């Protein structure tokens, strides 16, 4: 049996307050290699805490979080940072692109502090842009690209290190309907190629494009059937 990319077992996150805030309660979730999963919930449901937990930006108060077969709960900050950088690609609502650099340079910056030379970085960045359908726009600066194209550049950057998990936080939040559709089509293509995708969103339409949908409410998760 293949080891899942994500396995949360009894994960809880409690923030100290009076009374304490139970942001996550006994969360259990398994995501296999190549699965495309959406996690949907309203503001205040626990989405941000779950995102920070999955992205190794925060530690659970209790429970187990296995990422690609490695237990993460006992890791120190340096070990968590290293694991996050090697196993997780992040895509956010904001594109976080440098306006004065080309698309290919923005993608290549994901490995700026890596061991690969500049030429190899640029070659890999060009390949990543091809993967998201933007090879023909490699030399364009972000201000010459549409919102959907800028998000594709951000996705290419996240994919550059071939992460075990592509973790997306409201990835269509800054896009209009047409560009949203284009990005979701790209997610379909990436999933078909075996990329493991977890998309956290409040948008019901976005969540329905995934293979599986999980709802979070008051810090608790449950699986939902997707209607055809």
Q: Residue 2: which of 73, 87, 66 has the closest Cα? A: 66
CA 20/CA 8 separation, integer angstroms? 22
The DSSP call for residue 3 is P
The DSSP call for residue 4 is P
pLDDT tops 90 at residue 141: yes
Read off the pLDDT band of 2 (50, 70, 90). confident
pLDDT tops 80 at residue 117: no
Span 47-57, average pLDDT: 95
Contacts of 151 (CB under 8 A, 6+ apart): 91, 95, 171, 172, 174, 175, 179, 183
Would you kindly state where each structural domain of the chain is located, as residue ranges?
Answer: 6-96+149-224
Question: What would the pLDDT profile of 195-216 be if each residue is shown by its tens digit?
Answer: 999 999 999 889 999 999 999 9
CATH topology of domain 6-96+149-224: Rossmann fold (3.40.50)
Strand, helix or coil at 170? coil
**What's residue 110's pLDDT?**
86
- Percent of the chain exceeding pLDDT 90 equals 84
What is the pTM (predicted TM-score) of this model?
Answer: 0.92
- Count other C-beta atoms under 10 Å from residue 217's C-beta: 14
pLDDT tops 90 at residue 75: yes
Read off the pLDDT band of 168 (50, 70, 90). very high
Contact yes or no for 165/198 (Cβ under 8 A): yes
């Amino acid at each position: 049996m293949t080891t899942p990319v994500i396995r949360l077992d009894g994960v809880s996150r409690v923030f100290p307050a009076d009374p304490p805030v139970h942001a996550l309660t006994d969360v259990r979730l398994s995501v296999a290699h190549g699965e495309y999963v959406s996690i949907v919930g309203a503001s205040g449901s626990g989405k941000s805490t779950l995102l920070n937990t999955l992205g190794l930006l925060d530690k659970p108060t209790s429970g187990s979080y296995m990422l690609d077969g490695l237990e993460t709960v006992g890791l120190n900050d340096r070990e968590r940072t290293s694991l996050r950088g090697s196993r997780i690609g992040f895509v956010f609502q904001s594109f976080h692109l440098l306006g004065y650099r080309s698309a290919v340079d923005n993608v290549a910056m994901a490995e700026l502090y890596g061991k690969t030379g500049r030429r190899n970085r640029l070659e890999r960045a060009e390949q990543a842009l091809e993967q998201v359908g933007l090879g023909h726009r490699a030399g364009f600066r972000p201000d010459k690209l549409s919102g959907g194209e800028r998000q594709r550049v951000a996705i290419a950057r996240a994919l550059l290190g071939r992460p075990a998990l592509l973790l997306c936080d409201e990835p269509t939040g800054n896009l209009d309907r047409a560009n949203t559709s284009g990005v979701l089509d790209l997610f379909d293509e990436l999933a078909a190629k075996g990329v493991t995708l977890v998309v956290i969103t409040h948008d019901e339409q976005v969540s329905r494009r995934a293979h599986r949908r999980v709802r979070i409410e008051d810090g608790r998760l449950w699986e939902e059937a997707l209607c055809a």
